[in-house]
Structure 1
């Protein structure tokens, strides 16, 4: 139905979102080799109901759309229970088009790729790469689509520099009289950088922003024992060699204590943001992390929970992340009673709190190794960035290829059973 929804996004959005930037050759050399159908099915079975994507993420929209358009999904999960979040405006690493014409065309294309009649959320993607005026006009166009066509429900912006996001959110409110529904920040609440909490939350609340999801809790793969991810596009990560060396020292510290850097970093960010981000969080049903077990927000305390975006490429990674998420939920206030009522081990609450304490001790040790790199952010956009569209150098869009291949993501009943390597131990 055209127009702004009656319910605020914070009343319905799940606090855990499956980010599909991994369905892309930045993070994986061949995203078509990923079992995207199996990943999405497994996520839905364990209570995940929100999926984030973007046209900029290579074939991500097509792969996600196909994974959500299966008999399994149609039979078990109604469309109205699934939240699809996508973006517009970013075409390539050096090409942005925030014009009303392109915004409208991008939304139309996303609807087709994602095989849906409406999009729950559309962000203006990486707003720091364009002028405030351009971003403001794109927001206005998205609202026109919402009000006239009804194919968008909620509207927001995304980007990296916290100050840019805050400034633009305030301007949107001041000049339109309507606040943004959502502002997506990435790599700004991690073990290494917590600017989203220290500098962003209060300002975004003042701008009337309803929800602030925290994405890329590993800093775009920086906080990993194996180093930054290298996909088909090579080493694209903006972290300097000095920062990477500091991360390596922190990783070695974790190894000496029988832990993996990424395990500590994921739990620290998810567990901290669920509380520190609650004022810009949501009341949607959390992913239970257990097969076919639905859990409401009231069953984990009834308070808003800070919203996080997780990114995984394998079922093993998904299940480990969901185990961590389940443990974090067990550690919330009155978790022991909620566990008892749900038929789980009553001492899961105690175990979770003990694990939280252990993670905090190791997090403190990691920060000692990061020293001057705490809260460091890299320039975005890069100092030498030039938008091709500013000079009329836009590369002509090629006709859409058939990006989906049968071998890319076979139906679940055709997936061969193979032993998955354990790359991220769960604690």
Structure 2
């Protein structure tokens, strides 16, 4: 696997020796505001998992992470639930080149606790401690920037509150955590939990990550019961994950890894998405490109009230950009995921173009020696994407705004006992021991690209 980046023709600077740290300070009862330093574009590593790829160990994860860093990405989201993701990300961040060029304080690591498997959750204080210790070891770090309680809708409010309290104890007494959040799918549950934490502890939760709730298909995160309610509960940052609805909004359909078709979207919704994809094809576009750009570009504004002024990724190799370079306002935070270098390159091109269209983008492009009409092109592209997005939503019809159940009716947490040390640290299956990938209708295996949760 490649562990060092390839110099691009557009690069004008030499390789820097060390990147500067993200400014952070902490005192008793006070620390740097998360919304002042969290990067607005986060690299999600759920793709480093058997759900999205038949063999995550075959991915060039070291090359992907290194390339992401050189293009300005300074935050990585993972979870113990994402199969070998923590270990693969940790190994990528531990290569000699990354350690020397990107010191640990120069990027964020976000992970999670509580979800063990599809039907097993443990939010107890003892498991939280164990999970944090394991994550620190896997990620080769002595602190975690942000830790979420993973998928809070699957446990009781009291269980989630216990986990939050323990995470805060670890933050205050051990210094191994800087910020604490919750994540999940149902908007109402996230709002209930954020309000409960504030009411019971007197301290708001730092971040709430929602997934698949601000996409071309479902925009409930931007509603009054979404981001406005969370803001009223004192939540500082609301990252929007899975802008493609866990891979639903793609020409190829939902991703199918070695664990089979896990996606909860019903067949009727999938059929409507295929019709929308065909519409995009007729206009020379890919559904996933329209969906990705629309979600990233629109959330920058819609999510700004719970956004961040952290440095955005420039999208260009070895080119740093500050929030002031793109207008100085808060930007809604998004989480994107890729499986290969081509996807990363395309995503960063889209992101760069979006930044060019922001206030200050025109001057930034000119000063950087890029196309003097980059701002104009970005604004025109935004209008074109919006037109196609509106038609896609009309094609989706009654499926626009649909949210699947999470958890399914009758769900029972299978957590019965404290796992043994061997069970807790059991290695993840390699492809030789994993189920075969499930073929799609027509007999072809699913091509993996651009999910993500």
The TM tier, using the shorter chain, reads over 0.9
1:158–1:183 contact (8 Å) kept in structure 2: yes
Corresponding residue of 1:305: 331
Instruction: Map 1:139-158; keep pairs closer than 5 Å.
Output: 139-158=164-183
Cα distance in 2 between the residues matched to 1:47 and 1:404 = 33
Corresponding residue of 1:247: 273
SS in 1 for 2:129: helix
1:25–1:31 contact (8 Å) kept in structure 2: yes
Corresponding residue of 1:282: 308
Corresponding residue of 1:93: 118
1:189–1:196 contact (8 Å) kept in structure 2: yes
1:398 and 2:423 matched: yes
Instruction: Map 1:301-340; keep pairs closer than 5 Å.
Output: 301-340=327-366
1:164 and 2:172 matched: no
Corresponding residue of 1:51: 76
Shift of 1:6: 1.7
SS in 1 for 2:111: strand
TM-score (norm 2): 0.87
Shift of 1:343: 2.3
1:4–1:146 contact (8 Å) kept in structure 2: no
User: Aligned in 2, Cα 1:167/1:399: closer, same or farther, shift over 3 Å?
Assistant: closer
Cα distance in 2 between the residues matched to 1:3 and 1:55 = 30
Shift of 1:345: 1.6
Cα distance in 1 between the residues matched to 2:231 and 2:263 = 31
User: Aligned in 2, Cα 1:91/1:402: closer, same or farther, shift over 3 Å?
Assistant: closer
TM-score (norm 1): 0.92
Describe the superposition over 1:171-191 as per-residue Cα deviations: whole angstroms up to 9, x where unpaired. 101110100100000000000
Cα distance in 1 between the residues matched to 2:63 and 2:281 = 32
Instruction: Map 1:179-328; keep pairs closer than 5 Å.
Output: 179-198=204-223, 199-328=225-354
User: Aligned in 2, Cα 1:64/1:11: closer, same or farther, shift over 3 Å?
Assistant: same
2:53–2:448 contact (8 Å) kept in structure 1: no
1:184–1:214 contact (8 Å) kept in structure 2: yes
Describe the superposition over 1:123-181 as per-residue Cα deviations: whole angstroms up to 9, x where unpaired. 00000000011101110000000001000000000000011001110110111010010
Describe the superposition over 1:374-424 as per-residue Cα deviations: whole angstroms up to 9, x where unpaired. 1100000011311012xx26765526356699xxxxxxxxxxxxxxx9978
1:118 and 2:130 matched: no
SS in 2 for 1:388: coil
RMSD: 1.8
User: Aligned in 2, Cα 1:422/1:386: closer, same or farther, shift over 3 Å?
Assistant: closer
Cα distance in 2 between the residues matched to 1:292 and 1:403 = 35
Shift of 1:102: 0.2
Q: Show structure 2 runs of 5+ residues with no match.
A: 1-25, 431-446
User: Aligned in 2, Cα 1:293/1:5: closer, same or farther, shift over 3 Å?
Assistant: farther
Cα distance in 1 between the residues matched to 2:45 and 2:337 = 6
Corresponding residue of 2:410: 384
1:21 to 22, 46, 49: 46
Cα distance in 1 between the residues matched to 2:267 and 2:427 = 39
Describe the superposition over 1:84-108 as per-residue Cα deviations: whole angstroms up to 9, x where unpaired. 0000000000000000000110000
SS in 2 for 1:224: coil
Corresponding residue of 2:88: 63
SS in 1 for 2:423: coil
Query: How many residues end up aligned between the 2 structures?
Result: 407
